[in-house]
Structure 1
Amino acid sequence: MKDLTMTDTILLGLIGDNIAASQSPRLHRLAGLQNGRRVRYDSLIPAVEGLDFDALFARCAAGGYRGINVTYPYKEVVAGRLRIDDPLVKAIGACNTVLFDPEGSRGFNTDYSGFVAAYRRVRGERAPGAVLMIGAGGVGRAVAFGLIALGATEIRLADRDAAKADGLADALRRA
């Protein structure tokens, strides 16, 4: 493997609450090394950084980050600040991956694709049937759209925030 220099460093991060124990920094550094690149992957907790989400996101966008992952509770919030090219991700209304390009910030949702791939790996082409899904936040939104794609016959939504469950139900009906 070639010698790594600072010019090979990719700056990445994870924005979220309660992420102190996340293994994402280690995973991304190892993936970088496997591809001959040095990765700096920062855990970015708004309260620890002394910034609200918007200010921390803006700092990342302007501060040399190539991209960030976004987790609870910001996946839905960040979606409104991004260019989202995929109509499905627009419909989901939540992003967990952001790439910073010269043209602006672009959003993606790997929760959806990861859920669908994992489901198919275990259950093949068998449809899920009727499903009770608890949680209508960012991941819940992605999983619900995944269930539709997999052929669920019925999805019952439950969330502590009834308005979130109702909003997701409306988004699913429009899809």
Structure 2
Amino acid sequence: MSSVTSGILAGLIGKGIQASRTPAMHEREGDAQGLRYLYRLIDLDQLGLDLDALPSLLDAAQHMGFTGLNITFPAKQAIIPLLDELSSEARGIGAVNTVVLKDGKRVGHNTDCLGFAEGLRRGLPNVARRRVVQMGAGGAGAAVAHALLAEGVERLCIFEVEPGRAQALADNLNAHFGAERAIAGVDLAGEVAAADGLVNTTPVGMAKLPGTPLPVELLHAGLWVAEIIYFPLETELLRHARALGCRTLDGGTMAVFQAVKAFELFSGRPADAERMQAHFASF
């Protein structure tokens, strides 16, 4: 990809995102590379908007010369019909967290999958991956599920408040990774009891949605537990898991590495991942 010398104007669309570290990560990496890099929050809650506003927000971003947008809860799947093209990864996952606006086109990408996989490799190396339970089957959940199976999880059991979404994700995963690698869950207590790992991909546990995605009484010391939430870094789920002696992974590494790839897509320049990790840790 050719180097970009003009300024970058990027933004994040989502709900309840005032605590996001993404703008500062992008801007500080831009500063380090001598780029004029501005990154703005487009918080649907703050603006009093819902998903119906996505078409007008995308139009406005194009008219105002945005280079690209990151997309987070709850818009990672709702954004897809509004795009002109999808990367092969975004198409396979069925979710988009990065949109590049270039030459009048809107091209969707998914950097969440890469980000979670990198976090798992760095934060939970050599954990057992025979059976894993995943909470959530939304846009982030789809990316994480693809990463889990790609990283060697043998059987993934997905729970979702809307069972049809869990089944649809399991069907997508089995089409990509082979039959019976993923199932829609029915017996949460039984599955967690038999699991090696538990991953929360729901927004429950965020600062604006406190709580846990499952009864903490189901946790046991034999589990490793991963989150994708990073504000706060220590969710109630992770706090309970650590008290039991579980190995845990917070959402920080995923946040950094999805941002590394998004920075490269927006700027056309490679990002310094270690520097962005240091930026993240300093906030």
TM-score range, shorter chain: 0.7 to 0.9
**Which residue in the other structure is 2:17 paired with?**
19
- Residue 70 of structure 1 and its aligned partner are, at CA, apart by 0.4
- Residue 98 of structure 1 and its aligned partner are, at CA, apart by 0.9
Unaligned runs of 5+ in 2: 177-283
Superimposed CA distance per residue, residues 3-40 of structure 1 (whole angstroms, 9 cap, x where no aligned partner):
xxxx9431110000001121222111111101101211
- Residue 152 of structure 1 and its aligned partner are, at CA, apart by 1.4
- Alignment of 1:32 onto 2:30: yes
Q: Tell me the distance in 2 between the aligned counterparts of 1:130 and 1:24.
A: 32
- Alignment of 1:66 onto 2:82: no
Unaligned runs of 5+ in 1: 1-6
Would you say the 8 A contact 2:16–2:46 is kept in 1? no
Would you say the 8 A contact 2:55–2:82 is kept in 1? no
- Alignment of 1:139 onto 2:146: no
Letter in 2 for 1:161: E
Q: Tell me the distance in 2 between the aligned counterparts of 1:25 and 1:94.
A: 21
**Which residue in the other structure is 1:157 paired with?**
158
Letter in 1 for 2:63: A
SS at match of 2:96: coil
Letter in 1 for 2:13: I
**Which residue in the other structure is 1:3 paired with?**
none
**Which residue in the other structure is 1:89 paired with?**
90
Letter in 2 for 1:11: L
SS at match of 2:34: coil
SS at match of 1:80: helix
Residue in structure 2 matching 1:42, options 37, 40, 43 = 40
SS at match of 1:77: coil
SS at match of 1:131: strand
**Which residue in the other structure is 1:173 paired with?**
174
Would you say the 8 A contact 1:127–1:150 is kept in 2? no
**Which residue in the other structure is 1:79 paired with?**
80
Identity %: 35
- Most deviating of 119-128 and 69-78: 119-128
Would you say the 8 A contact 2:13–2:71 is kept in 1? yes
Would you say the 8 A contact 1:70–1:95 is kept in 2? yes
- Give the alignment's TM-score, normalised by structure 2: 0.55
Letter in 2 for 1:155: L
Would you say the 8 A contact 2:16–2:44 is kept in 1? no
**Which residue in the other structure is 2:192 paired with?**
none
- Residue 50 of structure 1 and its aligned partner are, at CA, apart by 5.5
Q: Tell me the distance in 2 between the aligned counterparts of 1:23 and 1:85.
A: 25
Letter in 2 for 1:171: N
- Alignment of 1:104 onto 2:105: yes
Would you say the 8 A contact 1:28–1:39 is kept in 2? yes
Would you say the 8 A contact 1:127–1:151 is kept in 2? no
Superimposed CA distance per residue, residues 55-109 of structure 1 (whole angstroms, 9 cap, x where no aligned partner):
11221122200011000000111123221132x3212111111111105111111
Letter in 2 for 1:130: R
- Alignment of 1:120 onto 2:118: no
Q: Tell me the distance in 1 between the aligned counterparts of 2:54 and 2:43.
A: 9
Would you say the 8 A contact 2:71–2:96 is kept in 1? yes
Alignment coverage as a number of residue pairs: 168
Would you say the 8 A contact 2:14–2:73 is kept in 1? yes
- Most deviating of 119-128 and 77-86: 119-128
